[in-house]
Chains A and B, each alone.
Chain A
Amino acid sequence: MSTAEIVGTWLAAFFTLAILSFLYKDNPLYKFAEHVFVGVSAGYQLVRQTFDVAWPNLLQPLWGGLHRDVDTLKAHPQWAFYSIPLAFGLLMFARLWKPIAHLSRWPMSYIVGAFAGTSIIGAASADLVIQVQSSMVNLRGTGPWTLIDNPFSLALSTFGLVCALIYFFFSKEHKGALGVVARIGVYFMMVSFGGSFGFTVMGRLSLAVGRAQSLLVRTPLNPHAPWPALVGVVVVTALIVIWERKISPPSAGEG
């Protein structure tokens, strides 16, 4: 294990605990870790986008074109097309100068238009047509009965779908039978939201488990575990105690 990896392991433990110190209360150590995280993320993204995106897709072809002879360039006129994304990319920076800030809307419009166009096609085919098709089920089931594929579950699912759709039918006041069905639709949706929330809780807990594993479990990347974590706890606690004493010194009667 290299020195850089060892230092990285200790720093990871320290920053994890510094971030977790927010659970106690907002403090300068947490702020420091947060700012470092934001800075490192921005720097990482800048480097990745420059060398993995801008350089191979735009700058390298343009740079290569500048060094070719005129005959080669005439034979491959598509080289000139790279000037269009370059111009659009530069226009994005126009918003930094107020007199020409409006020009930054052009590349933004192109991006929004392109993504909206492609998204509509994808959503229409995959989310609308096929999902509607799959909601038209054979209520008897298609094969050996399972937890999902059995007459009761399929009928319940279809009933819930109809009730939830009726809740979103606004052309008639939700009273009487329509109101009852719409209310049942709300209950189905609440169960769905509860399921989503349960998944969210599990996801957040999984992240906590991941950090705890990285701190406490001995692995090839963290052969000294749990010492970095234990030292980190002592250091973070000590720094927070010092900070608390600084912002609210103990009164004369206290030791």
Chain B
Amino acid sequence: MGFWLRVSKIDRRILFLLMGFAIVLPLLHPLGLPFSVEKSVQDIYDQIEALPPGARVLLSADYDAASMPEIHPFTISALRHLFRKKAHVVIMTLWYAGPPMVQDALDIAKKEFPDLKEGVDYDYLGFKEGKQIVMLGMGQSIRSLFPTDARGIALDDIPLMHDLDKLEQFDLMVNPSSGSPGTREWVQYAQSRYHMKIVAANTAVQAADMIAYYGSRQILGLAGGMPGAAQYEKLTGVAGTATAGLDVLNIGHLLIIAFVIVGNIAYFVTRKRSA
């Protein structure tokens, strides 16, 4: 059997093994490959950087553990950045598996800011079922959808929420999202109807669709996948898991490109010989 024929019939488990090495080795021995910041990610940073102290920001963490490696580092960096800018952050989630994500991100981001007070500097409203119906409802009255926050305290008793009851009162919305309901729905219902300023971080799969919204300025910044999160970590000056994972992504992509090239050569060579 010729070399190319053997290549074309290679056991797929060998490819899995090679990919395993490509993932594990750079993690154990980081290469620190350089990367630059895209304009769409820089735009998110600039939007938050331009906020005055006390600006009201809504952060809807619409993702779950399945997309944690891509989205979660961004949520942590964004919260850290918002707390640094002394913004007043209202946090919520439209995903039933989102609450543990929010709690973990808050726990990590708050460590640097021991003086932060829940209900004054930030508040977590919790999870709400209803998808876009919730967005439309929040445009009319946040209290009608969230009578209490996640702790069970009535919104009227929370200083941060005293005169805050409609989506249009927020200066900015940050939307880490990995599907539906997520950025698409926030654009359709909150941006188009209430003219909210939205910046988003999406999974790589979703980001391909959201680029159109960024191009039309319906969202003002976009971080796509793990590279987007790594770029945001770079801008905020705190390297996290996304930055550490970028080496692995680079090596992994090179390996996949090599697989595609070798596989195609093997296909064409063996087809020519069999003909």
Contact = CB atoms under 8 A, between A and B. Distances in A.
Co-complex (A, B): yes
Interface of A: 23-24, 44-45, 48-49, 52-53, 56-57, 114-115, 118-119, 122-123, 125-127, 130-131, 133-134, 146-148, 195-196, 199-203, 205-213, 216-217
Contacts of A123: 188
Contacts of A134: 215-217
Given A23-B13, A202-B227, A210 B69 contact: yes
Nearest to A210: B69
Interface of B: 13, 16, 19, 23-24, 27-28, 39, 66-70, 96-97, 99, 126-129, 131-133, 136, 147-148, 185, 187-189, 191-193, 203-205, 207-208, 212-213, 215-218, 224-227, 241, 244-245, 248-249, 252-253, 256
Contact of B192 (A49, A130, A148, A216): A130
A206 B70 contact: yes
A109 B149 CA distance: 32
A131 B224 contact: no
Chief secondary structure at chain A's binding surface: helix
A209 B129 contact: no
Given A133-B216, A207-B69, A125 B16 contact: no
B256 A125 contact: no
A126 B205 contact: no
Contacts of A201: 253, 256
15 contacts: A23-B16, A45-B96, A56-B147, A115-B131, A118-B133, A127-B188, A131-B212, A195-B208, A199-B208, A201-B256, A202-B227, A203-B225, A209-B23, A210-B70, A216-B27
A205 B133 CA distance: 34
A207 B126 contact: no
Given A52-B129, A123-B188, A213-B69, A206 B245 contact: yes
A36 B246 CA distance: 31
